[in-house]
Amino acid sequence: MRLPNALTPLCGWLVRLLCVIPCVILCLLPAPLLAAVPDAVLTPIPHDAGIKQRPFITSTLDLAAYGYLEEEFIMSGTGHYYEADGRWRRDGQWNVAIKAERDYATRLLVRRPADPEQFNGIVVVEWFNNTAFMDVDVIWAQSHDELLREGYAWVGVSAQFFGVNMLKSWDRERYGTLRLPNDGLSYDIFSQAGRAVKQQSAQLLGGLTVSGVIGAGESQSAIRLTTYVNAFQADAVDVYDAMLLYSRFFSAAPLQAGITLAAPSRAFIRDDNQLKILQFETEQDVFMFLFRLVRQDDTDFLRSWELPGASHYDEYGVSTLLPQYQRDFPALSNIALDCRNDLNQVPQHYVVNAALSHLRRWVLTGEAPPQSPRIEYQRWQVVRDDHGNATGGIRLPELEVPTATHNYANYGALGSAGNVLVNSFACPFLGNTVPFTQEKLKTLYPSRQDYVTQYVAAADAARAAGFLLAADYEEAVAKARAFDLPW
């Protein structure tokens, strides 16, 4: 349609204004705090170095069969300790001031395609979880299928004291030169790791051409990343193209050491945020860990997904993580997670895979992820259907065509000799799945074909909504066809 001549100058002025506004917003952000700090130094660690002759938490997968390499580096440099500049309020618009400067040396663990043609251009940089007082590669454990089949590169960052301390205890010959006095340097370490991915790809990634960098962390790491994106927004925007906050709680982490929560008690993502962020929350995160207190509307830079039926972590993640820790700690070889109930089996890894896929598209094309419905609750209680499953949220087939009740109630088994501490600590985070009785299954699904037909329809809907990727769809439907029904 042709515009009237009188409107042409006005439209030209509006176009110029719309082009300027984003630039003005970015210019209002403080200068990156790391701008004057030299790049970190990367020193390769030979794969067979040290007493153990392998990296800590080296993958249990045959990475070579996927065309992948696993390499390890010492990253050394200078970072800052910080203190809050002014009062931190729940709006997340936090300022910091440099308190002191200190040298550090930590490690990066890299898994990447050996063939540059296999690389999809995206590097996922994971802040290792330290809740268990050692590095845990939670994002990799949940999403290794997506990372490997789509050709991502992955970098794990030992950003915190407990992770580095365990590395030195596990193999002092390999990791003895690492030094990280406490968690106060963790924010600069994560920035410098992301910057190394972009600026030192020739050494860190074998020269892979990087199109985008996604930061990621789960649980305790996501809590620290909440502080990172709020208090270090300029550095985050300068270094990372997007961020996955997986199972963050209602609050944020302190600037200094420890896994305690920072003031204020509720921490929203700042409303002037300019970093593409996707928050993925399970039912347990939303209600038991109070993420519902910091729900906020989606924006051009923020998406929040909620998955009903899912616990903070689950059987799938444990099945990936436990073998590698039993291998690295022979004393744990006979320990099983003897929880009172079966672990949660909602396939949240499918949704994490979808989150990474959408973040990749968001970075490369600007197309934002789909918006997620919220899990429903009334009077501070989750609204549940006739089967005891939560309503609302992302509807996977396991919720729409159920064969079990999925929740997050679990505890360590009573009288589990020699394993009380492990179970008491881990089991409450791992949820529960209670299968329906055979009589109930027969009532719900009079024939196998009836069950499969309903499941496929629900899987079609989840795929169309963007929460189930094509490859995971095929796997899920195949499992449904093979499900052991009582006919």
Same-domain pairing of 462 and 347: no
Q: Which of 365, 392, 409 is the last residue of a domain?
A: 365
| 3-state class (DSSP) for residue 41 | strand
Model confidence over 257-289: pLDDT tens digits?
Answer: 765 677 788 999 999 999 999 999 999 999 999
CATH number at residue 327: 3.40.50
Model confidence over 249-259: pLDDT tens digits?
Answer: 999 999 987 65
Same-domain pairing of 361 and 435: no
Lowest mean pLDDT: which of 63-72, 407-416, 453-462, 474-483?
A: 407-416
Residue 105 located in a structural domain: yes
- With a cut of 80, say whether residue 87 has pLDDT above it: yes
Same-domain pairing of 407 and 354: no
Provide the phi-psi class of 172: left if phi over 0, else alpha when psi is between -120 and 50, else beta. Answer: alpha
The DSSP secondary structure of 11-35, one letter per residue, reads: HHHHHHHHHHHHHHHHHHSPPPTTT
Residue 326 located in a structural domain: yes
Same-domain pairing of 290 and 336: yes
Q: Which of 317, 338, 365 is the last residue of a domain?
A: 365
Question: Looking up tokens 């050692």, which residue turns up?
Answer: 134
Residue 146 located in a structural domain: yes
Same-domain pairing of 352 and 393: no
Structurally, the chain folds into a number of domains equal to: 2
pTM above 0.85, yes or no: yes
Pairing relation of β-strands 153-157 and 122-127? parallel
Average pLDDT, the chain: 90
Same-domain pairing of 300 and 325: yes
Half-sphere exposure of 155 (CA within 13 A, CB side): 30
- With a cut of 60, say whether residue 298 has pLDDT above it: yes
Provide the phi-psi class of 431: left if phi over 0, else alpha when psi is between -120 and 50, else beta. Answer: left
Residue among 126, 123, 157 nearest 141 (CA): 126
- With a cut of 70, say whether residue 423 has pLDDT above it: no
Model confidence over 153-201: pLDDT tens digits?
Answer: 999 999 999 999 999 999 999 999 999 999 999 999 999 999 999 999 9
How far apart are alpha carbons 155 and 180 in whole angstroms?
19
Model confidence over 38-57: pLDDT tens digits?
Answer: 789 999 999 999 999 999 99
Half-sphere exposure of 407 (CA within 13 A, CB side): 16
How far apart are alpha carbons 215 and 279 in whole angstroms?
12
Structural domain of 335? 40-365
